[in-house]
Structures are given as structure tokens and as C-alpha cells.
Amino acid sequence: MLLEWYRAAELSCDRAATLAVRDPRIVCRTLMVTTGAMPADQLNLDAFMAQAMEYESWDDPADRVRRFFNEIGQSHAYAVRRVSEVMNWVQGGEYDRIVRGEYRTREQQANVRAEAGDAFELYAERFRTIFREAGDNIASMGSQFGGVAEQVADWIRSRGGSSSGDA
């Protein structure tokens, strides 16, 4: 859980960088270059951003399970996921809202209890989704592995706080 929090904090830093440079493409290009073994002029930003936008919607069950288990122990989110998160944040309107100056300032009192509750719910739902999807993806591979896959899927789903797979 701490690694997930650490990766989420890194995504917050990416958002802050986007606000600082005032251009999401600069942040995306920087993330792309940090993962590439080539100079930036030999990389295709548009193709990398398209890959990032497909990252969350990739439907290959085996790949989603592999990606889940690869990411769970990482201290840093993969660059393609980070770009996906930045673009979703920008497209969701939060970037433009903040640039327009629509945010809470230091002079405005925060409801810490409500914000902590919202954060708890966000992370709880994120973990329920991770475990549900991992269980569902393993179950969908069941034809290859027989009843063992369904048993593993049920166990993973139960770790997410739901025995039926529903959040």
C-alpha cells in the first residue's frame, strides 16, 4: 500500500510539473525521453501519447494480470502510465480549472476530515478495483488452467473486500 501511495505521489508531482511548465506535452515528452534509449528527436511523442491513452483500456486479460503484478512492487509508476494519468487529468478539466485560478487558497479553511475521508475512499476503491480486475482476469484465463485459476481468482477478489467480485 505504501508503494501505491508513493506512486500516486509521483503522479501528483507530474501534475505539478504540468502546471509549472504550462504545457502537458513537455511533461509527456520528458517522461518519454526518460524511458527511451534514444535521443528525443528519434522518438515519436504522438505515438507514445496514443500508447498511454490505450494503457488503461487494454483488454488482454493475461497482460493486465502481468502488468498488475509487475507494477505492485515498483516504487515508480511506468512512464506510459504516468503520461496516461497526466492526459486524463488534463482532459478531465482539472488542469484548465487550476490554470483559471479556481482552487482553494491558503486563506480558505479546509475540511480536513472530509478530505481525509475522500482520500480514503479514493484509495479503497482503487484497491478494490485492482483486486477485482486481477481476479476477473485470472478467472477469464481459467480455460487454460482449469479450476485452479478460478480458486486463485476468488482468493484475489476476497482480498479486495468483496467475495462476489462486486465492489
Same domain assignment for residues 76 and 122: no
For residue 124, give its domain range.
112-167
Distances (CA, A) of 118 to 71, 121, 167: 24, 5, 17
Whole-prediction pTM? 0.67
Cβ neighbours of residue 48 closer than 8 Å, sequence gap 6 or more = 28, 32, 80, 83
Q: Are residues 42 and 77 in the same domain?
A: yes
Phi, psi dihedrals of residue 103, rounded to the nearest 5°? -155, 160
Same domain, yes or no, for 144 and 98? no
Q: What is the pLDDT along the chain (167 residues), one digit of tens a residue?
A: 778 778 888 999 999 999 999 999 999 999 999 887 777 788 888 998 888 888 777 767 667 667 777 777 788 888 888 999 999 999 999 999 999 999 888 888 888 888 888 888 887 887 777 777 776 666 666 655 556 666 666 776 676 654 444 44
